[in-house]
A = this chain, B = another copy of it.
Amino acid sequence: MTVTATDSLEGVSLLEELDPAYRLEIARQCRWRRYGAGEQIIDRQSETRDVFFIVRGSARVVIYSASGREVTLDDIPEGGFFGELAALDGAPRSASVMATADTLVASASPELFLRLVRENTSVAMTLLWRLAAMVRSSTERIVDLSTLGANNRVQAEILRRALEAPADDQGRPRISPIPVHSEVASRVSTTRETVARVLSDLARKGIVLRERNTLVVLDLGRLELMVSEMSP
């Protein structure tokens, strides 16, 4: 595709403290490409070491097991980036990445990326924070997988989404759109059936309510209690 003058790396968090002229220079050195929802951006088997900036759209980091099970590792929003592990250590890709919406990415070669990190403290620090956050959320997931049953992991995931969701004027979180069962299942390593069962159970207890395309959490306190009683 042809990159128009309006395409820029302005919204990319990793680069936000850089001088605009310098950032434009980097944009010119990137390769730009569009992907449709569901299209693969990084194949786990691929030999590339590029880093990808999400200028528009979003992406999902997944691993597929031999048995075909999909393990979702992360969702990267607009302005985020991915592919930094292979660029940093030169080892193979740890996972595959696919677009989850119409997505425009700019990709930097590992050489360009490492130069950016070495020469700009703000880039290095933002990258350190990002990796630290990844370690923390991975640790949380390892502990959940090691100590909680599948039902509790689903409850914990609904709670996490509730805490990130906007609340209505009565303080009730509104998760919208309603989480797709297979997506939650892949996030907490269980089956779609388990997710469906736990959500029905929460609805029956009056803790959540399905309202058109929104899951309203009616009783956040009780959901928090259910999860905290199980957590380490």
Q: Is the CB of B125 within 8 A of A127?
A: no
* Distance of A227 from chain B, by nearest CB (Å): 11
User: Are A142's CB and B94's CB within 8 A?
Assistant: no
A138 beta carbon closer than 8 Å to chain B: yes
Contact yes or no, A89 B129, CB < 8 A: yes
Q: Chain A's interface: helix, strand, loop or mixed, by majority?
A: helix
Q: Does B88 lie within 8 Å of A129, measured CB to CB?
A: yes
Contacts of A66 in B (CB 8 A): 147, 230-232
Check if A132 is an interface residue, CB within 8 A of chain B.
yes
B65 touches A136 (CB 8 A): no
Determine which of B128, B136, B139, B141 lies in contact with A128 in the assembled complex, contact meaning CB atoms within 8 Å. B128
Beta-carbon contact of B71 and A132 below 8 Å: no
- Tell me the A residues contacting B by CB distance below 8 Å: 63-67, 69, 71, 73, 84-85, 88-89, 91, 94-95, 117-118, 121, 124-125, 127-129, 131-136, 138-139, 141-143, 145-147, 189, 230-232
